[in-house]
Amino acid sequence: MNIPLLAEITGLHGAPGYEDNVRVWLKEKLKSGYADQLKTDSIGNLIVHIPGNGPKVMVSAHMDEIGLIVTHIDSNGFVRFGTLGGFDWKTLINQQVCIHGKETVTGVIGSKAVHVMTDEEKKKNLSTEQLFIDTGMKADDLKKNVSVGDTITRHKPLTEIGDCVSSKALDNRASVYLLLELLLSDEFNPQCDFYGVFTVQEEVGLRGARIAADAIRPDIGINLDITIANDTPGSEEHKACTRLGDGAALKVMDSSVISTPALNRFIESIAEKEEIPLQKEILTAGGTDTSALQYLTGLGAQVTCISTPVRYVHSPVETASKNDIDAAFNLLSAAVNAIHTYDYTQTYQ
């Protein structure tokens, strides 16, 4: 896999609704091969359309990462914030962040020091209301660059650890990487009417994918996202959603969608034929853009999701296996190149 490219993608900052940096970067990467086929819709989705015969196929990957937003700057220059997406407060304490104002300002998230907490305070769980961002600047100087409404993202460059990579924003830049690599691949040969869509605002309600899917109205939707690898100490073995190193994951269901069984069987057969390691994903909570691809007004698409297993999801140290990312790419490439052989007109009996 292309580690430098993945590092570049995860290093980009793009909170929900503010994915501009990611979109501009992708346009630059794609313009030489797809200049006439790139379109940005009104909500900010970046769409690559490769016209063709056969089924209308939409492959999606969301650009946004969970982020924060400035809600107040106090007289001492400490920044209060709200959340954009789902956070566990424990992953925020003592983390370095970037505040995206007129200029980017670096800060650290702090809380009341444990040394001066009362016994009662020590027993209580902290909440985001008790956290703040310290930029080391006085209020008047900070307010020259930062104001209420500015977004905040975590700062954690990608690192290699063993057979894995660890970074902020692997959710979902690992999938942005997969879709970009597919479009740049010499082996990419879609014999269908293909739409590659880099979506926005997934982390706050699948908003971009709903807009794009309603406009495109695909026959087949293949979403790309990460999923939970809860194979760590303290997790019961029978409750593991996926395991790191066991290959790409094919979504059976999550709380928002049940993948089309026939489409899953088709992709499973490709994985078997190509000897691509594959595991099944059953996620009892949470959802992805997969459901947005399926819920079309007056028309239901056949959908599934190729997922990359990730540990420590929604933290600054999301961790994925290099081999699993490779497996996800190989499965995606083989599935898209063969999708014209799938009978998407079959109906339930």
Question: Which residues are part of the catalytic machinery?
Answer: 202
- Say how far apart CA 144 and CA 140 lie, in whole Å: 7
- Say how far apart CA 67 and CA 316 lie, in whole Å: 11
| DSSP-based three-state secondary structure for 75 | coil
Instruction: Kindly state the helix (H) or strand (E) to which residue 21 belongs, with its residue range.
Output: helix 20-34
Residues across the chain: 349
DSSP classification of residue 219 = S
Chain-centroid distance, C-alpha 258: 19
Please name every residue paired with 134 in a beta bridge, in sequence order, or none if there are none: 108
Greatest Cα pair distance, the chain, in angstroms, is: 69
- Say how far apart CA 346 and CA 28 lie, in whole Å: 39
- Say how far apart CA 266 and CA 344 lie, in whole Å: 11
- Say how far apart CA 283 and CA 291 lie, in whole Å: 13
Chain-centroid distance, C-alpha 273: 28
Letter for the amino acid at 126?
Answer: L
Any idea which residue has 């994915």 for tokens?
19
- CB atoms near residue 156 (< 10 Å): 19
Collect all residues with Cβ–Cβ distance below 8 Å to 280 and sequence separation of at least 6: 249, 250, 252
First to last CA, the chain: 42
